[in-house]
Chains A and B, each alone.
Chain A
Amino acid sequence: NAGVMQNPRHLVRRRGQEARLRCSPMKGHSHVYWYRQLPEEGLKFMVYLQKENIIDESGMPKERFSAEFPKEGPSILRIQQVVRGDSAAYFCASSSWTSGRINEQFFGPGTRLTVL
């Protein structure tokens, strides 16, 4: 399956613990986006990364959240000291780049984070 892969699919954490969500983009894609879907809310943009660079993090909460997309390996969304309000589905999307424009974003199946 050459689609966007996310793991784990389900993650349970207690308040105060750390959550690490992983995303492997589609083969050949160099752009990664993270979105959060809160219960009864729409998907909201969090951050846009290229290899080793954060391009736009305007949707990221100011504290406890960070993201990276290293030269090798998956993109990681890290949430420190989780709180109940962090419980949500977190989706990763990836896209390729064609000269002058960004192409369609393909979404992964998501990681469902539950904070107890």
Chain B
Amino acid sequence: TQLLEQSPQFLSIQEGENLTVYCNSSSVFSSLQWYRQEPGEGPVLLVTVVTGGEVKKLKRLTFQFGDARKDSSLHITAAQPGDTGLYLCADMNRDDKIIFGKGTRLHILP
């Protein structure tokens, strides 16, 4: 069974700072996804990455996929309070089940 480990578990930083969170898989990703989940809501897909070594940018968010397709990082530049939430990495398998990590809970202090 594939395991996704995310670190850190919790992160609290000041507005304007940069941060990076990590995701490591026990096996090669089929299709790496990152989601953000706000309190009381369901997860919202941020990005899907398939190719090893690929870098995708979404405004102030930069997603990097490791060459071996077993790890990923999410970097946020100049964090804002609106970035607060639970960041989940996930693998969408060929059988369409999504396997999620436990997430990094990010809190941006104004």
- List residues of A whose CB falls within 8 A of some B CB: 4, 31, 33, 35, 40-45, 48, 56, 58-59, 91, 93, 95, 102, 104-110
CA distance A106 to B41 in the complex (A): 12
Could you say which of B59-67, B69-77, B96-104 contacts chain A?
B96-104
B88 to chain A, nearest CB (A): 7
* 11 A-B residue pairings within 8 Å (CB atoms): A33-B97, A42-B4, A42-B103, A45-B99, A59-B97, A105-B92, A105-B98, A107-B44, A108-B42, A109-B40, A110-B42
Is there an interface contact between B101 and A45, defined as CB atoms closer than 8 Å? no
Total number of B residues with any Cβ neighbor in A under 8 Å: 19
B45 at the binding interface (Cβ < 8 Å): yes
Q: Is the CB of B100 within 8 A of A48?
A: no
Nearest-CB distance from B53 to chain A (Å)?
23
Which B residues form the contact surface with A (CB < 8 A)? 4, 40-45, 48, 88, 92, 95-103
Closest B residue to A58 by CB, please name it.
Answer: B97
Give, as a whole number of angstroms, the nearest-CB distance from B93 to chain A.
9
B95 in contact with A56 (CB, 8 Å): yes
Known: A33-B96, A109-B41. 17 other contacts (CB 8 A): A4-B42, A35-B98, A40-B102, A41-B102, A43-B98, A45-B99, A48-B96, A56-B97, A91-B42, A102-B96, A104-B45, A105-B45, A105-B98, A108-B42, A109-B40, A110-B41, A110-B42
**When chains A and B are docked, how far (Å) is the Cα of A87 from the Cα of B79?**
33
Question: Which of B43, B48, B99, B101 is most buried by chain A, counting CB atoms within 10 A of its CB?
Answer: B43
- The answer on a CB contact under 8 Å between B42 and A109 is yes
| Interfacial chain B residues near A107, Cβ < 8 Å | 42-44
